[in-house]
Structure 1
Amino acid sequence: MTNYRSVNALLESTIGLFKTELIKLGRPWKTLSQVELATAEWIDWYCHRRLQGEIGHVPPVEYEASHYTRTTKPQATTTI
């Protein structure tokens, strides 16, 4: 069973970072399009390029790729 309090805490933390690092710094936003584009760019950075100290100061996407390379078993091949 999922621990909803932990999930909620994670979401609140991420939303707090989003507001602090992007929304409050970009004020005043003039158009919704500016906010949408900035949000997409921040999410891309957060998920793909930011360095994570807990995982060896590498971006999350790099760590995930490395994890699957280490843990994925090779597929069996057959020859005819």
Structure 2
Amino acid sequence: MTYEMRASRTRPSRQNGYFKAGLARVPAGPGSWQTVENLELATLGWVHWHNIQRLQGYLGEIPPAEFEDTFYAGQTTSTQLVGIK
């Protein structure tokens, strides 16, 4: 039994189409996997690439995870407790 990414019968969302197009290019196989586990591993690989390795033009050609880390590193936190009176 093989598992394939099939086109939706309804109009897919933009992100869903982007995901399917990207997953079809994963080295594990062009849209066909032998087991559900293989499909899950390919999906995890795509999510890792999308969040950790992909350079995002809107973020200054850096990966989204790096942008997020830089953003939160610049935030200051207060250790003062806030109470309700």
TM over 0.5: yes
| Counterpart selection for 1:39 from 39, 43, 48 | 43
The one of 65, 68, 73 equivalent to 2:72 is 68
Paired residues, what number? Answer: 66
Gaps of 5+ in 2: 1-11, 81-85
* Structure that is richer in helix per residue: 1
- Counterpart amino acid of residue 18 in structure 1: F
**Structure 1 position 56 matched with structure 2 position 60:** yes
Q: Which of the pair is proportionally richer in strand?
A: 2
Runs of 4 or more consecutive aligned structure 1 residues displaced over 4 Å after TM superposition: 73-76
Secondary structure at 1:40 match in 2? helix
Q: TM-score, normalised by structure 2?
A: 0.63
TM-score by structure 1 length? Answer: 0.66
CA distance, structure 2, for counterparts of residue 12 and residue 40 of structure 1: 20
The one-letter code sitting in structure 2 at the alignment partner of 1:13 is R
Q: RCO (CA 8 Å, sep 6+): is it higher in 1 or 2?
A: 2
Alpha-carbon RMSD: 2.3
Q: Give unpaired runs (5+ residues) of structure 1.
A: 1-10
